[in-house]
Chains A and B, each alone.
Chain A
Amino acid sequence: MTPPLAHIGHWYHALLYMVPVVVLGVGLWWSGRRDARARAEAAAPGGDERAPQD
């Protein structure tokens, strides 16, 4: 446990710079998935009950 943590200071800050990118990327991906599902539901013949469900 100790050795990797002892060296975390060498690289953890690089990951911190990526946090906004990851958060935004995940948010966009999730939002896009939700939109696609909504479009599929709207396009499916017969209404919402035939739309793909998770």
Chain B
Amino acid sequence: MSLRRLPAAALGVAALCLIAPAGASAHGISQRADLPIPEWLFAWGAALVLLASFVALSVLWRRPVLEHARERVILRVPLVLEVLAGVIGIAAFAAVVYAGLAGNQTTTANLAPTAIFVLFWVGVPCASVLLGDVFAGFSPWRATGRFAGWVATRVAGADLPTPLTYPERLGRWPAALGVLSFAWIELVYTGRTDPSHLAVLALVYAGVMLAGMSFYGVETWTRNADGFGVAFGLLALLAPLDWSGRELRLRPPLAGATAMPQVAGAVAVVVTMIGTTTFDGFSQGSIWTGTNGLLQRLTDALDGFGLGREAAIQGAGTVGLLAVVLIVAGLYRLGVAGMHSVGGGLSSDDLARRFAHTLIPIAFAYLVAHYFSLLLFQGQAIVYLISDPLGQGSDIFGTSSSTIDYSLIAGSGIWYVQVAALVTGHVGALILAHDRALTLWGDSRIATRSQYWMLLVMVTFTSLGLWLLSAASQ
């Protein structure tokens, strides 16, 4: 088949499937019944939106705008607010850990699992994108570290030893490891539904954070090694609000992302965020979970080494998780290699770091697409869990009898939100990439050409995301 006929052939296949979609999907393929078109056609539409956005950017966006965006101070934040936020963060952490250790060990009856996996891991990122880096204020380990530092300064005065110099080459790799470890607990660890296990792990994490802060200083350690602080901080760069020092500043949305530090491990953090969410979607599909699926086969293979069934299942999950993260990293490097082919004297590693911020909106889009319904439905459980955090029949705030309203949104509504999140996130990524390319290459024609392969990467991520969501719902 000649290349010229390829698009026509693709359209022909699509037309045939549209004519007889029921026949083509007679076996095993189901989709949300109230959608007007097949789910896969949304991927085609999303690709067209990205293509149109790319063309529009190349024609209408001729000079960098976001890189030089100005921030405007709109509020001075009093010290007491910082202290209050820290106290609330520590109190919430203590309540969750106590509930996990002392409460009912049924997953749904205990506050800890929902607070950690829904409110903390999904709710805080959403709040960060809307309101800026709120977690920095509420972080229990950062607040504890700062308080300990304040006390130590008062007691020891000038005798207090200066913090060690943080190794530059270590950069944000510890944060990437932190995100990967949390994802492993969430998606692979078989004890993830056990509230007491989660509470112990939370204490271990806080202990590691405090130990690191004591060696390298609170801010240095938080900026580089706190997986949650770094991940939420990156997402907050998309927000129109910036809490710098004790000032609240207003800036154009997305503009903050251009200030993402280009340090070692910075790419790894964002790639890990996308990769782990991708694995979450993939691990719910039939290719992974089906009879004789990848999970089954990997588990059988690892079981052959005498690990035991549970360890083999976790081993299989670990292999899958790492493989998907590496695939996402490979896709990004493909886009970078395409940019490198344009020239300009920048190495691939340098380009990878300079364009890493373009992955932030994708990471958020994947998070919303995969966890929106979890936050919407399971998030409601917090209303009764705060009244009965231990699951032992208490009714502290009089809300313990509330229930989850599953009629808030229909299945098709969730799908539309997921599609909108993925498309918006990837258009945001294209905007950031185009703006950075204009800064680096100057000439808008070369800048546009440099982004051809990034466009392919964006379309791939969008199609992949929609396929995973579709496969997970079947």
By a beta-carbon cutoff of 8 Å, the part of chain A in contact with chain B is: 6-10, 12-14, 16-26, 28, 30-32
Contact = CB atoms under 8 A, between A and B. Distances in A.
Contact of A8 (B24, B455, B463): B24
Contacts of A20: 43-44, 46-48, 459, 463
Interface stretch (B6-14, B196-204, B300-308, B376-384): B6-14
Interface of B: 3, 6-7, 10, 13-14, 17, 24-29, 38-40, 43-44, 46-48, 51, 338, 341, 452-453, 455-456, 459-460, 463-464, 466-467, 470-471
Given A17-B467, A20-B43, A10 B456 contact: no
Given A17-B466, A19-B44, A20-B47, A9 B455 contact: no
Contacts of B38: 13, 16
Contacts of B29: 9-10, 13
A13 B455 contact: no
A31 B338 CA distance: 13
Q: Is the interface of B mostly helix, strand, loop or mixed?
A: helix
B25 A18 contact: no
A26 B3 contact: yes
A30 B456 CA distance: 14
Given A12-B25, A16-B17, A24-B455, 17 more contacts: A9-B24, A12-B17, A13-B25, A13-B29, A13-B39, A17-B464, A17-B467, A19-B14, A20-B46, A20-B463, A21-B456, A21-B459, A22-B10, A25-B456, A26-B6, A28-B453, A31-B452
Contacts of B456: 21, 24-25, 28
A51 to B, nearest CB: 20
B27 A6 contact: yes
